Amino acid sequence: MAHQLVIVLDFGGQYNQLIARRVRECGVYCEVRSYKTPIEEIKKLNPMGIIFTGGPNSVYDEKSPSISVEIFNIGIPILGICYGCHLMAHVLGGKVSSCITSEYGKTETVYDRSCILFGGVSDMPEKAVSWMSHTDYILEMPAGFKSTAHTDNCPVAAMENKEKKLYAVQFHPEVNHTEYGLGMIDSFLKNVCGCIGDWTMGNYAKTAIEDVRNKVGNGKVLLALSGGVDSSVAAALLSKAVGNQLTCIFVDHGFMRKNEGDEVEAAFADWDINFVRVNAKDQFMAKLNGVSDPETKRKTIGEEFIRVFEQEAKKIGAVDYLVQGTIYPDVIESGAGDAAVIKSHHNVGGLPDYVDFKEIIEPLRLLFKDEVRALGRELGLSNVLVDRQPFPGPGLAIRIIGEITDEKLKILQDADYIFREEIAKAGLDKSIHQYFAVLTNMRSVGVMGDGRTYDYTLALRAVTTTDFMTADFAKIPYDVLETASSRIVNEVKSINRVVYDVTTKPPATIEWE
Ligand code: XMP
């Protein structure tokens, strides 16, 4: 796929993926590469521009990540952000020093709009808020640079060498708190690098479909469909590309949310693919009989998933390609090459050993999660699948604390359904990133009518997060919690108490097991 490329050179900052996502929001394809990437390799990639990320180090510490001065002489425009800005100054002969007053958070910044980074943003005023996070600053700029922004404590909050197309900002334009930040990135890409913005999901779908067609020819393709966003979008793409040469095996382990198995099946009913649903609940329940340890549950389900998948795959016979729903963050996090294995371990417990296939296809390997959703919409996948919140591979089995029984599964499905309904009714389903119910193994005393009850305690969990690595509990209004709680205890037999989980991650995890 030939798209104009921009490289985000990673110096270890926490917002690196965010920078890459912002570049793509501007319609420009970009890849994150290590700062150690040899200059020769960068030249071969022929990028339109390079962005240096931030990082936790100080440039004057000898062990800090650095870069050869050569990179500034190959004629490719560069934007340095935070640490990247210090590095540009340092390597080109300027002076970086510890700040007299560090800046952290929203900072009033004065911009010189004759600099194209800011002047190229329509309606941008001379003064606006930027997001700062630094203890070093540029004390002296290298020769040929001029300061293009300042704050009360930072005389060089941005600098440029227009002739050499080198730009640097002390603040983080990729963070939402920086007003006009996305516009600045867009201006760098379009006005400095000359990018045309050809990265759209429409274009991507077209070329990805062609690529898959060319690769697969008349071959047979197999895909393990979980009902999650990634595997669903991969299935839709493959279906458009090779139609009924594709077989999707949907292993329903019985631990999906209420009606979910049927919803997944219905969503693919009109697609030109071979869709195999395996209702394997009894098989999974048998294996989990007497199991209450969380890790044993996870492993048992992961292994059984593979066994069921293999049994079905064998019926189809030898296939040429196996599709994996690997996405770009997996590729970045695991280092190129290892991604397929890591992802499948996480989702289904490992690659099937004796499904006979020649090669793996990963059609989403270049995409971020929000792009995967956009692609799904582009391909006409239903909202039920595209907007789905993350759901763990082992499903409700790890939301039932202790041993799993049919009765507990039914209780949890019903209660979880009510909670989801109430969240949606309150219009909170887009702002809360994950919300669900957990059936604790605890019973307590209650009173209903005139009688004593001794029933289960249900926990509600709802979190907001950007990356699911850390999370905050959602501040759901009390009246929404009240309605959900009252409906659950009234409508679901065997629950007489509802509690709300108010722990952040860390120290808790999002799931309870
Ligand atoms: P934790 O509980 O570790 O969860 O804070 C972080 C995110 O990962 C999801 N999760 C899983 N996803 N397979 C998955 O595909 C799994 O086995 C699994 N376990 C947890 C969890 O729902 C949350 O979004």
Residues 160-180: pLDDT tens digits?
999 999 999 999 999 989 999
Nearest CA to ligand 1 atom 8: 392
Q: Give the distance (Å) from ligand 1 centre to CA of residue 17.
A: 20
Q: What pLDDT, on the 0 to 100 scale, is given for residue 338? A: 30
Q: Could you tell me where the DSSP H helices lie in 401-477?
A: 406-425
For this structure, is 108 an active site residue?
Answer: no
Q: What pLDDT, on the 0 to 100 scale, is given for residue 352? A: 58
Q: Give the distance (Å) from ligand 1 centre to CA of residue 244.
A: 32
Mutate to test the pocket of ligand 1, among 348, 464, 468, 505 (most ligand atoms within 8 A of CB): 468
Q: Give the distance (Å) from ligand 1 centre to CA of residue 150.
A: 43
Q: Give the distance (Å) from ligand 1 centre to CA of residue 501.
A: 17
- Our answer on whether the CB atom of 505 is closer than 6 Å to any ligand 1 atom is yes
Q: What pLDDT, on the 0 to 100 scale, is given for residue 341? A: 30
The pTM of this model reads 0.81
**Of all atoms in ligand 1, which is nearest to the CA of residue 389?**
24
Between β-strands 495-500 and 146-150, what pairing exists: parallel, antiparallel or unpaired? unpaired
For this structure, is 513 an active site residue?
Answer: no
From the list 3, 134, 172, 433, the catalytic residue is 172
- Our answer on whether the CB atom of 511 is closer than 6 Å to any ligand 1 atom is yes
Q: Which residues pair with 52 in a beta bridge?
A: 9, 80
User: Measured between alpha carbons, how far is 508 from 513 in angstroms, rounded to an integer?
Assistant: 10
For this structure, is 154 an active site residue?
Answer: no
- List, for the chain, all residue ranges whose pLDDT scores fall below the cut of 50: 335-349
Q: What pLDDT, on the 0 to 100 scale, is given for residue 330? A: 77
The two three-digit tokens of residue 456, written as one number: 């289960």
CB-based contacts of 399: which residues, under 8 Å, 6+ apart?
A: 412, 416, 436, 437, 438, 439, 511, 512, 513
- Sequence-distant contacts of 488-491: CB under 8 A, at least 24 apart: 488/415, 488/418, 488/419, 488/437, 488/458, 491/414, 491/418
Q: What pLDDT, on the 0 to 100 scale, is given for residue 13? A: 84
Nearest CA to ligand 1 atom 24: 390
**Of all atoms in ligand 1, which is nearest to the CA of residue 511?**
2
User: Measured between alpha carbons, how far is 398 from 196 in angstroms, rounded to an integer?
Assistant: 47
The two three-digit tokens of residue 443, written as one number: 């019973």
- Our answer on whether the CB atom of 66 is closer than 6 Å to any ligand 1 atom is no
Mutual orientation of helices 294-316 and 339-348 as an angle, nearest 10°?
A: 110
Strand order in the sheet with 359-361: 274-279, 246-252, 221-225, 321-323, 359-361
**Of all atoms in ligand 1, which is nearest to the CA of residue 302?**
17
Which residue do the tokens 């919690």 mark?
A: 481
Sign of the dihedral defined by the CA atoms of residues 184, 60, 17, 9, in that order: positive
User: Measured between alpha carbons, how far is 400 from 438 in angstroms, rounded to an integer?
Assistant: 6
User: Measured between alpha carbons, how far is 180 from 242 in angstroms, rounded to an integer?
Assistant: 43
Q: What pLDDT, on the 0 to 100 scale, is given for residue 1? A: 55
Average model confidence (pLDDT) for the chain?
Answer: 92
Closest of 97, 81, 110, 96 to residue 169, by C-alpha: 81
